[in-house]
Chain A
Amino acid sequence: MSYKLQFAELLPYWNVLLYGLVFTIVLTIVSTVVGIAVGTAGAAARTFGPGWLGRIVAVYVELIRNTPFIVQLFFIFFGLPALGLKLSETIAAFLAMVINLGAYSTEIIRAGIEAVPKGHIEAGLSLAMSKWEVLRHIVLNQAFRKIYPALSSQIIIVMLGSAVVSQISAEDLTYAANYVASRNFRNFEVYLLVALGYLLLAMLTRSLLRALGRVIFKAR
């Protein structure tokens, strides 16, 4: 190979890349928290809610799970303004992430809820607890413990998928990489560095979530 990799030329842009990194991290954290809240509500609606609500949630889940994230993003950012709903790049990115993770976590949490033995629910009801109290104190706790690994994987998948928000000019890590590449034309070096950055972030997130899981579910 006659070409020489020149990573030194990336140095002047460290602040751009750092900004992108922080953006990606914040985007991931916020959409994880809100997305799982949406997923919990969705799963509760599908398992404990009235039938019509469960069907609406099912349609939402299937629509999101069977279309690419980039199309969802474009639909929100380019399509919704046609209906009079104009969103900034950043808000559109956050919204798309939440909607996406919300659908996946609905399915994951629902599976967890359905894995809780029916007898536990009956025991809770027999203690005069309401459906929602049973859900909150008995079912969700056990469900989350069971699906925590699957949910963790999904969070990392969504984090990596967030690279796509650069396509509507939300200023994440990939956007930063595109910006640097357009300035110094060291495409390969930039993308390699940023890819490794994502890899590190994914590994870090995984260990962090594992440690967090040990703290939350310390019992037993």
Chain B
Amino acid sequence: MLQFSFWDILSNLLIATQWTIVLSLIAFFCGGIVGLVLLFMRTSRIAPLEWFTKIYIEFFQGTPLLMQLFLFFFGIALFGVEVSPWMAATLALTFWTSAFLTEIWRGCVEAIPKGQWEASSSLALSYIEQMRYVILPQASRIAVAPTVGFSVQVIKGTALASIIGFVELTKAGTMLNNATFRPFLVYSLVALIYFCLCFPLSWWAKKIEGRLNVAR
């Protein structure tokens, strides 16, 4: 039987951590772009667009991320397309992330006083222009802290990609556990690595939030 030293286990986990990071970054940035589009739709005051985003958000916030992963994994296959775990995970995490970011950002947009909308529309700005030049610059200031905070949820969410077979940190942990039979050590290390990824972001989010409160 192959012998695994502590360093073998750790280095294998760290290699897999790269995929956790890559998946997190892709989900966060793609989710951010989709979320921004949805935000415009959600605040557009055009009924069909608002309804669509409402249902979209309700579905992705109201069902387990794990179910969404399964649905993408098995759903796309129905179209006769070969689905890799990587593709299903990317899509599911992107859509899931976008739903949450849209809701977070909508809260920030709604925190901007109504007078700002009235003043900017009195200056003949269109809706897109109002958002672009008046509302978003203000809303983005208060959006930073909750957005950074949510990035922690994205990193933790990528752990579920392991269930559909994508080899990232959690899946690597399971595989190493099966090979070494040292579950306590392996899962402690897995948890520790996640902690090292997430804690700085949590801490940063809290710091920004505190600074905003002082500034107010």
Report yes or no: A69 in contact with B187, Cβ–Cβ below 8 A: no
Contact stretch, chosen from B26-34, B110-118, B177-185? B177-185
Given contacts A66-B194, A70-B159, A198-B63, contact A75 B188 (CB under 8 A): yes
Chain A 70-83, CB-CB to B under 8 Å as 1, else 0, gives 11101100111111
* A163 at interface, CB cutoff 8 A: yes
Selected contact of A2 from candidates B59, B63, B80, CB within 8 Å: B80
Chain A 49-93, CB-CB to B under 8 Å as 1, else 0, gives 000000000000011011111111011001111110000000000
Selected contact of A71 from candidates B59, B157, B173, CB within 8 Å: B173
B: number of interface residues (CB 8 Å): 43
When distances are taken between beta carbons in the complex, the residues of chain B under 8 Å from A164 are 64, 66, 160, 163
When distances are taken between beta carbons in the complex, the residues of chain A under 8 Å from B77 are 188
When distances are taken between beta carbons in the complex, the residues of chain B under 8 Å from A167 are 163
Chain B residue nearest to A205 in the complex (CB): B62
Contact stretch, chosen from A28-36, A128-136, A189-197? A189-197
* B56 at interface, CB cutoff 8 A: no
* A161 at interface, CB cutoff 8 A: yes
When distances are taken between beta carbons in the complex, the residues of chain B under 8 Å from A83 are 184
* A216 at interface, CB cutoff 8 A: no
Report yes or no: A71 in contact with B194, Cβ–Cβ below 8 A: yes
* A169 at interface, CB cutoff 8 A: no
Chain A residue nearest to B200 in the complex (CB): A66
Report yes or no: A188 in contact with B79, Cβ–Cβ below 8 A: no
* A160 at interface, CB cutoff 8 A: yes
When distances are taken between beta carbons in the complex, the residues of chain A under 8 Å from B177 are 78
Chain B 135-165, CB-CB to A under 8 Å as 1, else 0, gives 0000000000000000010011101101100
Given contacts A78-B177, A174-B67, A191-B71, contact A66 B62 (CB under 8 A): no
Report yes or no: A160 in contact with B188, Cβ–Cβ below 8 A: no
Task: Report how far A174 CA is from B199 CA in the complex, Å.
Answer: 30
* A123 at interface, CB cutoff 8 A: no
Report yes or no: B162 in contact with A70, Cβ–Cβ below 8 A: yes
Closest CB of chain B to A210's CB: distance in Å? 15
* B52 at interface, CB cutoff 8 A: no
Report yes or no: B187 in contact with A74, Cβ–Cβ below 8 A: yes
Selected contact of B64 from candidates A65, A66, A82, A198, CB within 8 Å: A198
When distances are taken between beta carbons in the complex, the residues of chain B under 8 Å from A121 are none
Chain B residue nearest to A82 in the complex (CB): B184
Task: Report how far A2 CA is from B155 CA in the complex, Å.
Answer: 36
Chain A 1-39, CB-CB to B under 8 Å as 1, else 0, gives 111000000000000000000000000000000000000
Report yes or no: B64 in contact with A67, Cβ–Cβ below 8 A: no
Closest CB of chain A to B96's CB: distance in Å? 11
Closest CB of chain A to B151's CB: distance in Å? 12
Report yes or no: B78 in contact with A3, Cβ–Cβ below 8 A: yes
Residues of B64-92 at the interface with A, using a CB-CB cut-off of 8 Å, are 64-68, 70-71, 74-75, 77-80
When distances are taken between beta carbons in the complex, the residues of chain A under 8 Å from B66 are 163-164, 166, 174
Known: A62-B202, A163-B66, A164-B64. 19 other contacts (CB 8 A): A65-B202, A66-B152, A68-B155, A70-B160, A74-B170, A74-B174, A74-B183, A79-B187, A82-B182, A83-B184, A162-B64, A174-B67, A191-B74, A192-B75, A198-B62, A199-B59, A202-B61, A202-B63, A203-B62
A–B pairs, 6, beta carbons within 8 Å: A62-B195, A70-B159, A160-B62, A164-B66, A195-B70, A199-B58
**Which A-B residue pairs are the 7 nearest by beta carbons?**
A68-B159, A163-B64, A66-B198, A78-B183, A82-B184, A187-B74, A68-B156
